[in-house]
């Protein structure tokens, strides 16, 4: 009797983990959308700094406010997108987001002043927030059983990394040949003509309720309520860690191309370095994912934070005649492989610390707080460059921020056992 029930459980488990090819096809389609959208926008914003400064005669700080506007609107839109997808069909939310993103780029290409350009990029950021990570992740949890969701999320992140390798380099070539206005107009048309139609066909909930039921069962698991979590030290340690990682990483990402050009590299060489970072990030998704299975998320993130800080310090030597190229390569390897690490492992940390109840809400709140603060990082770097007339102090500050993420990680690791034993 017991043997029969065990066999039955095995059959049920194996059936639950069988994923239809159509579901994997939709995951790959969403990955393509994320690669294009992030590759042409977030990963390429640094390429716009110099031409926009020249076109509108702005300061470093004013040019950096473009990235700030984009990041704030994207960050605010992401939790709102998750809330809408929980209550409405995903298709209209995501398609409208792609239309807004592409339309924002088209408006930016015709902007006659810096304020208009900033508003247009803010619209693009909001559109990206509505059509990419949060709603895509929500759909994946509905399509793919829990046992296979790790692979599905890995595919999404890998596509973002590939997009970060390909599209900034292509956009840089378009800027050099055509000018920045036609280049971003073409980028807007690509989002409208490729991503919006793909999302119209892909952004659908499953016809049967098996995956959804499985996801609901996971969410109903144990864990703190939202109010209890917001009053707990663990949530704020986790949020502080995520904020420091994100603030440092986004500031470096947006400053990389202008910094390398200031050090004497051509815009093409700077874009190639940006592509190298994307390649390293793609490798890092798998390398540190495997290491986290052995070491755990906390230890892996500690190693990643220290490696990232070391990579930033290497970047300080990019202008050295003898060490410049080697320093940029070392930066790409050390910093690039760890660029996506907080996004990859922070959900695991949050789940371990506070359980699965209200996980989506807590993840959204933490990412919103970290994202809004981090959105001012590029503008802060631009301000320091204007004041000091050098990138030394801003880059060193970003390395310090990354090292500062280590104590909250260690504290989070040590507080969990004590609290869980109560």
Domain boundary among 220, 235, 260: 220
Quick check: is 8 in a domain?
no
Mean pLDDT throughout 141-170?
76
Is 63 inside any structural domain? yes
Q: Which helix (H) or strand (E) holds 421?
A: none
Domain boundary among 178, 195, 220: 220
pLDDT at 223: 55
Say yes or no: 40 and 56 in one domain.
Answer: yes
Q: Rounded to whole angstroms, how far apart are CA atoms 114 and 116?
A: 5
Q: Please tell me the predicted confidence (pLDDT) of residue 91.
A: 92
- Between CA 298 and CA 125 the distance in angstroms is 31
Residue 50: CA atoms inside 13 Å, Cβ hemisphere, count? 19
Averaged over 114-135, what is the pLDDT?
91
Asked if residue 116 and residue 235 are part of one domain, the reply reads no
Range of the domain at 49: 24-220
270 plus 208 within the same structural domain:
no
pLDDT digits (tens, 9 = 90+) for 214-229: 444 444 444 556 677 7
The answer to whether residue 5 is domain-embedded is: no
User: How is residue 83 written in tokens?
Assistant: 């809330």
- 307 with 344, same domain: the answer is yes
> Contact, 134 vs 17, CB < 8 A?
no
- Which helix (H) or strand (E) segment holds residue 52: the answer is helix 45-56
- Asked if the structure places residue 117 within a domain, the reply is yes
Same domain, 199 and 237: no
In degrees rounded to 5, what are phi and psi of residue 223?
Answer: 150, 170
Residues 210 and 135 in one domain: yes
- Give pLDDT, residue 260: 92
State whether 400 and 269 are in the same domain: yes
- Binned at pLDDT 50, 70 and 90, residue 10 comes out as very low
Number of domains in the chain: 2
Q: Do residues 141 and 276 both lie within one domain?
A: no
Q: How many angstroms separate the CA atoms of 71 and 374, rounded? A: 8
Residues 199 and 272 in one domain: no
Residues 244 and 206 in one domain: no
Asked whether the beta carbons of 116 and 148 are under 8 A apart, the reply is no
Give residue-wise pLDDT tens across range 324-353. Answer: 899 999 999 999 999 888 877 777 777 778
CATH of the domain at 389: 1.20.1250.20
Same domain, yes or no: 309 and 419: yes
The reply to whether 225 and 288 lie within a common domain is: yes
């Amino acid at each position: 009797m017991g043997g029969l029930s065990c066999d039955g459980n095995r059959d049920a488990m194996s059936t639950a983990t069988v994923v239809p090819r159509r579901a994997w096809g939709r995951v790959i389609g969403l990955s393509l959308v994320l690669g294009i959208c992030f590759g042409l926008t977030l990963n390429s914003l640094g390429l716009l700094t110099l031409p926009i400064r020249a076109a509108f005669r702005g300061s470093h700080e004013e040019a950096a406010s473009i990235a700030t506007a984009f990041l704030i609107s994207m960050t605010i839109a992401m939790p709102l997108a998750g809330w809408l997808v929980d209550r409405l069909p995903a298709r209209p939310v995501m398609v409208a987001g792609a239309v807004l993103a592409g339309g924002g780029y088209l408006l930016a290409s015709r902007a006659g002043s810096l304020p208009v350009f900033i508003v247009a990029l803010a619209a693009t950021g909001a559109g990206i927030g509505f059509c990419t990570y949060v709603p895509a992740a929500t759909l994946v949890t509905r399509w793919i059983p829990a046992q296979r969701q790790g692979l599905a999320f890995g595919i999404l992140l890998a596509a973002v990394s590939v997009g970060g390798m390909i599209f900034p380099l292509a956009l840089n070539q378009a800027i050099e040949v055509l000018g920045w206005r036609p280049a971003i107009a073409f980028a807007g048309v690509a989002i409208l003509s490729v991503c919006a139609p793909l999302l119209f066909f892909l952004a659908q909930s499953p016809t049967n309720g098996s995956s959804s039921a499985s996801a609901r069962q996971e969410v109903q698991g144990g864990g703190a309520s939202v109010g209890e979590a917001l009053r707990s030290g663990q949530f704020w340690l986790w949020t502080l860690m995520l904020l420091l990682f994100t603030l440092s990483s986004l500031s470096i990402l947006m400053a990389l191309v202008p910094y390398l050009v200031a050090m004497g590299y051509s815009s093409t060489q700077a874009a190639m370095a940006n592509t190298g970072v994307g390649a390293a990030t793609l490798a890092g998704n798998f390398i540190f994912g495997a290491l986290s299975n052995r070491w755990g998320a906390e230890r892996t993130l500690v190693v990643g934070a220290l490696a990232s800080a070391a990579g930033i310090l290497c970047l300080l030597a990019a202008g050295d005649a003898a060490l410049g190229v080697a320093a940029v390569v070392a930066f790409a390897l050390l910093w690039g492989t760890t660029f996506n690490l907080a996004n990859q492992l922070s959900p695991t940390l949050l789940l371990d610390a506070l359980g699965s109840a209200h996980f989506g809400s807590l993840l959204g709140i933490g990412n919103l707080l970290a994202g809004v603060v981090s959105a001012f990082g590029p503008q802060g770097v631009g301000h320091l460059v204007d004041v000091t007339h050098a990138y030394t102090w801003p880059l060193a500050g970003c390395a310090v921020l990354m090292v500062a993420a280590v104590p909250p990680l260690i504290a989070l690791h040590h507080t969990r056992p004590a609290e869980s034993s109560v």
